């Protein structure tokens, strides 16, 4: 069939595509807006994949696991495609949206191919043109969302399925009115279209899960047809196609299936309730998208084709492609009706969620356009197109003033999508101010407003453009966590005026930051709406970096230099003279050394009773130097072209600290001695661990004595470092279910303080090292387990839990954790084996029966699964 695409028609398709390219790029050239929540999140995801593809390791399974985990809730194909685009053209939202040109080409070719297969080449060309002109599609072309790529790939998949299905029925149509009966079609072309269908189905599911809403009905319909006809060859082709689709989409789904399930409820049920979407037992739920048709299509393109269909059919005037028209219309109706019903069944509704069926609607409209025959048919079609082009121009650009806007709105309701041409937003300047103030640190910015223009996602995106040196996170969402949030971050941004979609606790959080003596107002910017954006910085930061010798960015002579070999030094330790056990103790460490040693350094700190050798008379305070916030020496800086406020490549390179300069790193945190600690004088021992090379060596410690006295008054202390908080949470895991809610609630909170969750890597490396020295320490084993689970490291978690089950062999929950990880890894047999000792220890724990039932179900043992379910209910 591909060979039957005429060169003239391909040229017309190319011109249609180029027309869309010109309009889109003019719009982007005028637009000075910043991305909102979803757009910024997807743009950041594309940068994550852009960074990962700088140094791919195609044959490493660990690299692939990390690669799929870069996007844990939304399938990543569109973001990966955008990453490739940015590898070629540079980073930035305008450049990322170039990927939509690629998806537009896929869409136009697929729509044309569908029209050619179902009706005629004329219908296919008109359908391609309509896809460029309907508001539901051209508005999405100008956004970085998943729905437009999904539309293109769904249409491609439906085209491949349609060709394969019709070949099996002996109906192959090329060009207007031509139908060839082929009872014995060629084997190779059939296999080609089956393979193409399978791969495109997998790609569609790798763009967005809702691809099933559009493809499930035609795929199931075709499968039933194939099975009923009992054609073994066709059944094999269909089965192979489905297998190929699974090969394409399964790696990502298998890696992230648990987060997909947990995030699915929030994305559907919770969002539907929050947005007030109509319930399924109301008529509004089932007519919601029907009412949006004029908004998606425009009245011009909706009415003219419908009139053409009704007028000419009523007069029994038949177009030349009539021989295959009834079957084609039925097949198209199967796709459209199935998609409409399944989308309506989704609780969460939005106008863009049904966009992937619009190319099918465009085919139906194009068929209606070709029904206008006779003397005035050509003039009516081109007049309709001309009017639609005019309306599109008025919807995208403020060309016609108030009258033009009203005219466009009457013919195309709710389709206005002007480029923003006002003053630039200061997001890049906010990020730059943070970077210039703390040039050697990865900074986390607490974002308190959440408006369309100023929110945690778009500030996080601009931080990612700046070599991933600044992250934005929304904090202050819960009243009981305000103090912890305020004490855990060094940077906050607030806004006057409209605050956006924020929780009730946000007002108190803003007051805490703006009125606290711990913060200084760093800088203020005036926003285009005349409100103010305020950046606050902690007066005494938790981590400070100073340099000795050359300034940051100063050129180092290459000759006559030798790399210093001196080890890390602990220059100073500041603690109170006396402290009680069981209460946080403030501590300040000052480290010095080269960046090559400081940045990857994990320090293993042990405070020991100088007069006792008991293991109970000590505590540890392990973590990375600088709390893990020292910037990496990026091998490939972000290319020039940040927007707005581009940075030259030399500026980006200057962000990397010269390796030969001596630096000091000052950390201010708190440590937690056990509550049952013996009274006495405690001194410090320190060991250095390089996370990159595994190198270790003892660190010389300055004289420091800390007296532990139960009668002492506690000194006010800052928040505990995240590594310590993780270890304290892990110590509650032996309590089982009653501890898990608190553990994961607290993990959700502290994850906001470390956007890349490096604290988990710190825990993992520190605990692995310590367990080599003391393999029987159960607290460290649980700390390692929690770190591995939170990193979704299945192999590491299983190994850690096997150690835990040996050390805590009388605790049924230890076996339950191991079984859960095996279930996460889709290994029901191993999970069932792990649960046997747990059930023997305590068969009255209902969660054990739930896990045992799931394990049985995975192995196909339905009877055992039902028994466990019954026991769980009881």
Q: Give the C-alpha separation, 385 to 130, whole Å.
A: 8
Q: Are 586 and 668 in contact (CB under 8 A)?
A: yes
Boundary (domain end) residue, out of 719, 735, 761? 719
Q: What CATH code is carried by the domain that includes residue 471? A: 3.40.190
Residue with the bigger pLDDT between 555 and 856: it is: 856
pLDDT at 661: 66
Q: What is the pLDDT of residues 339-382, one digit of tens each?
A: 999 999 998 889 999 999 999 999 999 999 988 877 788 889 99
* One-character DSSP codes across 90-129: -SSHHHHTTHHHHHHHHHHHHHHHHHHHHT-HHHHHHHHH
Average pLDDT value for residue range 2-15: 79
Residues 6+ apart with CB under 8 A from 38: 145, 457
Do residues 646 and 743 both lie within one domain?
Answer: no
Judge whether 55 lies within some domain: no
114 & 10 share domain:
yes
Is residue 715 located within the same domain as residue 730?
Answer: no
CB 196 within 8 A of CB 113: no
Please compute the mean of the pLDDT values over residues 519-528 and round it to a whole number.
Answer: 96
pLDDT tens-place string over residues 96-126: 999 999 999 999 999 999 999 999 999 999 9
Segment holding 344, helix H or strand E: helix 325-345
228 part of a folded domain: yes
Residue 234 shares a structural domain with residue 352: yes
Q: Which of 685, 719, 753 is the last residue of a domain?
A: 719
Q: How many domains does the chain have?
A: 4
Do 765 and 864 belong to one domain? yes
Neighbours of 432 (CB within 10 A): 18
Question: Residue 646 pLDDT more than 60?
Answer: no
Round to whole Å and give the CA distance between 552 and 556: 10
Question: Is 38 inside any structural domain?
Answer: no
Same-domain status, 617 and 707: yes
Lowest mean pLDDT among 157-171, 284-298, 783-797, 830-844: 157-171
Residue 782 inside a domain? The answer is yes
- Give the CATH number of the domain where residue 601 resides: 2.60.40.10
Q: Cα-flanking dihedrals φ and ψ of residue 669, to 5°?
A: -150, -160
Residue 5: per-residue pLDDT: 62
Query: pLDDT tens digits for 676-723?
Result: 999 999 999 999 999 999 999 999 999 999 999 999 999 999 999 999
Q: Which helix (H) or strand (E) holds 312?
A: helix 299-314
Taking alpha carbons only, the member of 681, 694, 671, 571 closest to residue 622 is 671
In the 8-state DSSP scheme, what is residue 82? Answer: H
For the cut 80, the answer to whether the pLDDT of residue 225 exceeds it is: yes
Q: Which of 719, 748, 782 is the last residue of a domain?
A: 719
Which of 154-158, 251-255, 724-728 bottoms out in mean pLDDT, i.e. has the lowest? 251-255
| Strand residues in 145-197 grouped as ranges (E) | 171-172, 180-181
Residue 299 scores a pLDDT above 70: yes
Distance, in Å, from the CA atom of 355 to the CA atom of 300, rounded to the nearest integer, reads 18
Rounded to an integer, the average pLDDT of 780-797 is 95
On whether the CB atoms of residues 765 and 689 are closer than 8 A, the answer is yes
- How far from chain centre, in Å, is Cα 740? 25
Cβ atoms of 748 and 729 closer than 8 Å:
no
On whether both 441 and 319 belong to a single domain, the answer is no
For the segment 66-81, the average pLDDT, to the nearest whole number, is 93
Calculate the alpha carbon distances from 504 to 216, 266, 269, 508, 510 in Å. 41, 19, 21, 8, 11
Is position 572 within any domain?
Answer: yes
Say what the pLDDT of residue 564 is.
47
Asked whether residue 346 is domain-assigned, the answer is yes
Q: What is the mean pLDDT of residues 46-64?
A: 93
Domain of residue 491, residue span: 427-538
Q: For residue 472, what are the β-bridge partners?
A: 445
pLDDT tens-digit readout, 397-439: 988 788 888 898 999 999 999 999 999 999 999 999 999 999 9
- Looking at 281-290, 544-553, 607-616, 742-751, which range is the least confident one? 544-553
For the whole model, what pTM was predicted? Answer: 0.90
pLDDT at 533 over 70: yes
Whole-number pLDDT of residue 174? 47
- Whether residue 78 is contained in a domain is answered as no
Each residue's pLDDT tens digit, 129-173: 999 999 999 999 999 999 999 999 999 999 999 999 998 776 555
Tokens coding 234: 């066709």
Q: Do 8 and 153 sit in the same domain of this protein? A: yes
271, pLDDT greater than 50: yes
Most confident of 253-257, 552-556, 603-607: 603-607
Q: Work out the average pLDDT over 471-494.
A: 95
The mean per-residue pLDDT over the stretch 464-481 comes to 95
Q: Where are the beta strands (DSSP E) in 758-843?
A: none
DSSP secondary structure letter of residue 595: H
**Do 265 and 384 share a domain, yes or no?**
yes
| pLDDT of amino acid 315 | 57
Query: Nearest to residue 728, comparing CAs of 679, 683, 780?
Result: 780
Q: What does the block give as tokens for 377?
A: 């048919």
Question: Do 690 and 758 lie in a common domain?
Answer: no
Q: Choose the weakest-confidence range: 37-46, 176-185, 410-419, 509-518.
A: 176-185
308-317 pLDDT, tens digit each: 888 766 555 4
CA dist., res. 490 & res. 517, Å (int): 13
The answer to whether the CB of 465 falls within 8 A of the CB of 414 is no
> Is 21's pLDDT higher than 80?
yes
Instruction: Examine the domain organization and report whether 801 and 842 are in the same domain.
Output: yes
Q: What is the torsional sign of CA 547, 550, 556, 557?
A: negative
Instruction: Give the chain's mean pLDDT.
Output: 88
Rounded average pLDDT over 252-264 = 83
Assign 307 to helix, strand or coil: helix
Does residue 671 have a pLDDT over 90? Answer: yes
Give the percent of the chain with pLDDT over 70: 89
Does residue 830 form part of some domain?
yes
Judged against a pLDDT cut of 70, whether residue 562 lies above it is answered with no
Distance from C-alpha of 103 to C-alpha of 101, rounded to nearest angstrom: 5
Question: How far is the C-alpha of 445 from the C-alpha of 804, rounded, in Å?
Answer: 37
Please indicate, yes or no, whether residues 750 and 795 belong to a single structural domain of this protein.
yes
């Amino acid at each position: 069939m591909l060979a039957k695409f005429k060169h003239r028609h391909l040229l017309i398709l190319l011109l249609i595509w180029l027309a869309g390219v010109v309009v889109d790029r003019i719009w982007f050239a005028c637009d000075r807006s910043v991305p909102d929540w979803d757009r910024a999140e997807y743009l950041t995801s594309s940068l994550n994949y852009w960074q990962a593809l700088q140094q791919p390791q195609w044959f490493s399974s660990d690299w692939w696991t990390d690669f799929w985990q870069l996007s844990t809730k939304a399938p990543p194909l569109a973001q990966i495609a955008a990453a490739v685009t940015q590898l070629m053209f540079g980073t930035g939202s305008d450049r990322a949206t170039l990927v939509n040109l690629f998806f537009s080409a896929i869409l136009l070719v697929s729509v044309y191919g569908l029209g050619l297969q179902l009706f005629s080449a004329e219908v296919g060309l008109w359908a391609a043109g309509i896809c460029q002109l309907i508001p539901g599609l051209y508005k999405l072309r100008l956004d970085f969302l998943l729905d437009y790529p999904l539309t293109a790939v769904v249409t491609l998949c439906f085209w491949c399925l349609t060709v394969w299905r019709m070949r099996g029925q002996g109906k192959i149509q090329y060009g207007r009115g031509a139908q060839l009966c082929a009872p014995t079609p060629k084997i190779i072309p059939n296999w080609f279209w089956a393979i193409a269908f399978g791969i495109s189905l997998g790609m569609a599911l790798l763009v967005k899960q809702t691809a099933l809403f559009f493809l499930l009905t035609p795929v199931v319909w075709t499968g039933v047809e194939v099975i009923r006809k009992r054609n073994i060859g066709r059944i094999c082709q269909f089965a192979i196609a489905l297998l190929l689709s699974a090969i394409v989409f399964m790696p990502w789904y298998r890696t992230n299936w648990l987060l997909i399930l947990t995030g699915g409820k929030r994305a559907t049920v919770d969002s539907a309730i929050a947005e007030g979407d109509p319930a399924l037992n109301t008529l509004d739920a089932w007519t919601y998208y029907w009412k949006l048709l004029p908004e998606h299509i425009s009245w011009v393109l909706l009415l003219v084709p419908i009139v053409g269909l009704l007028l000419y059919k009523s007069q029994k005037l038949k177009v030349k492609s009539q021989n295959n028209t009834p079957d084609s219309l039925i097949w198209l109706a199967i796709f459209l009706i199935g998609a409409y019903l399944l989308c309506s069944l989704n609780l969460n509704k939005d106008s863009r969620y049904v966009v992937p069926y619009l190319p099918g609607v465009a085919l139906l409209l194009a068929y209606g356009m070709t029904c206008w025959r006779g003397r005035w048919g050509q003039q009516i079609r081109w007049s309709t197109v001309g009017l639609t082009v005019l309306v599109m121009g008025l919807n995208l650009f403020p060309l016609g003033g108030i009258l033009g806007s009203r005219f466009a709105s009457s013919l195309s309701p709710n389709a206005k999508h002007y480029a923003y041409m006002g003053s630039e937003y200061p997001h890049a300047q906010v990020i730059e101010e943070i970077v210039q103030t703390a040039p050697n640190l990865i900074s986390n910015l607490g974002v308190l407003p959440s408006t369309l223009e100023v929110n945690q996602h778009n500030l996080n995106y601009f931080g990612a453009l700046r070599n991933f040196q600044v992250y934005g996170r929304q904090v202050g969402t819960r009243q009981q966590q305000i103090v912890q949030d305020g004490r855990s971050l060094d940077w906050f941004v607030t806004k006057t005026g409209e605050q956006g979609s924020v929780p009730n606790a946000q007002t108190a959080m803003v007051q805490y930051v703006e009125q606290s003596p711990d913060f200084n107002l760093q800088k203020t910017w005036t926003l285009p709406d005349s409100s103010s954006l305020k950046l606050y910085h902690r007066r005494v930061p938790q981590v400070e970096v100073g340099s000795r010798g050359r300034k940051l960015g100063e050129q180092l002579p290459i000759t006559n230099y030798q790399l210093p070999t001196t080890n890390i030094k602990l220059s100073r330790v500041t603690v109170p003279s006396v402290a009680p056990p069981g209460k946080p103790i403030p501590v300040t460490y000052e480290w010095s050394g080269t960046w090559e040693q400081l940045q990857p350094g994990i320090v293993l700190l042990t405070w020991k009773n100088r007069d006792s050798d008991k293991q109970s008379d000590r505590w540890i305070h392990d973590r990375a130097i600088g709390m893990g916030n020292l910037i990496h020496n990026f091998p490939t800086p972000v290319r020039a072209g940040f927007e707005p406020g581009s940075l030259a490549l030399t500026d980006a390179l200057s962000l990397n600290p010269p390796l030969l300069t001596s630096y000091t790193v000052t950390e201010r945190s708190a440590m937690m001695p056990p509550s049952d600690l013996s009274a006495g004088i405690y001194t410090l021992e320190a060991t250095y661990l390089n996370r990159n090379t595994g190198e270790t060596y003892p660190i010389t410690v300055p004289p420091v004595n800390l007296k532990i006295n139960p009668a002492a008054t506690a000194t006010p202390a800052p928040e505990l470092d995240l590594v310590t908080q993780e270890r304290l949470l892990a110590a509650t895991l032996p309590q089982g279910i009653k501890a898990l809610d608190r553990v994961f609630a607290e993990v959700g909170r502290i994850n906001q303080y470390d956007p890349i969750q490096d604290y988990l890597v710190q825990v993992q490396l520190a605990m692995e090292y310590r367990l080599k020295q003391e393999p029987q320490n159960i607290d460290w084993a649980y700390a390692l387990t929690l770190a591995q689970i939170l990193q979704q490291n299945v192999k590491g978690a299983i190994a850690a839990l096997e150690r835990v089950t040996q050390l805590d062999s009388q605790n049924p929950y230890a076996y339950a954790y191991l079984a859960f990880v095996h279930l996460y890894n889709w290994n029901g047999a191993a999970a069932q084996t792990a649960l046997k000792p747990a059930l023997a220890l305590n068969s009255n724990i209902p969660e054990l029966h739930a896990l045992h039932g799931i394990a049985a179900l995975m192995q196909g043992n339905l009877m055992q699964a039902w028994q466990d379910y019954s026991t769980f209910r009881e």
